Amino acid sequence: MTKLSPGAYPHMLGFEQLERLLERASKSENEGYPPFNIEQTSQLSYRITLAVAGFSEDDLAITVEERQLVIRGQQSNGDADRVFLHRGIAARQFKRSFVLAEGVDVGDAVIKNGLLHVDLRQTMPETVVQTIEIKKA
């Protein structure tokens, strides 16, 4: 069976960018670390919560790159002097990516009790009706 893309439908013009966004979303890392939640906090707002126990604000970086929210974590190497008999708490670096829809903006980011909360809000575009004049040839 042939995979149909939005560009294969003659009535869907200009959706190539949507197809690229879907490809990027499907190729994003599916690793389970760190675990996260996504919740809808109101009609037009969302919150992404990542479990980042052991990471400080300085160990984390949040960027938006080409409509993609990227959260990176890398702990500083302050454990060089410590001797662990057992190390069960993960101290590895991570990168989590979330593809953002058009009109979704990143708001505040807060760490509380080992959880990183990143707020997103969606702006509704104005409905515009445009009349096109027909010119005589």
Q: Is 9 a domain residue?
A: no
Q: Is 135 a domain residue?
A: no
The enclosing domain of 100 has a CATH number of 2.60.40.790
- What is residue 123's predicted lDDT score, i.e. its pLDDT? 87
Q: Which residue in 47, 99, 92, 98 sits closest to 73, CA to CA?
A: 92
Domain count for the chain, please give it: 1
CA 106 to chain centre: 9
Phi-psi group of 6: left, alpha or beta (phi > 0 → left; psi -120 to 50 → alpha; rest → beta): alpha
> Mean pLDDT per 10-residue run, the chain (137 residues)?
59 66 62 88 94 91 92 81 81 88 92 96 84 87
Q: Is 75 a domain residue?
A: yes
121 by Cβ neighbours in 10 Å (0-12 / 13-18 / 19+) ranks as middle
- What is residue 125's predicted lDDT score, i.e. its pLDDT? 76
Domain of residue 108 covers 31-122
Q: Is 91 a domain residue?
A: yes
Q: Is 55 a domain residue?
A: yes
- What is residue 22's predicted lDDT score, i.e. its pLDDT? 66
Cβ–Cβ < 8 Å for 6, 15: yes
Cβ–Cβ < 8 Å for 90, 33: yes
CA distances from 1 to 4, 22, 26 (A): 9, 20, 20
Tokens representing 23 are 């490809």
Three-class DSSP category at 135 = coil
Q: Is 22 a domain residue?
A: no
Q: Is 102 a domain residue?
A: yes
Q: Is 47 a domain residue?
A: yes
- What is residue 66's predicted lDDT score, i.e. its pLDDT? 85
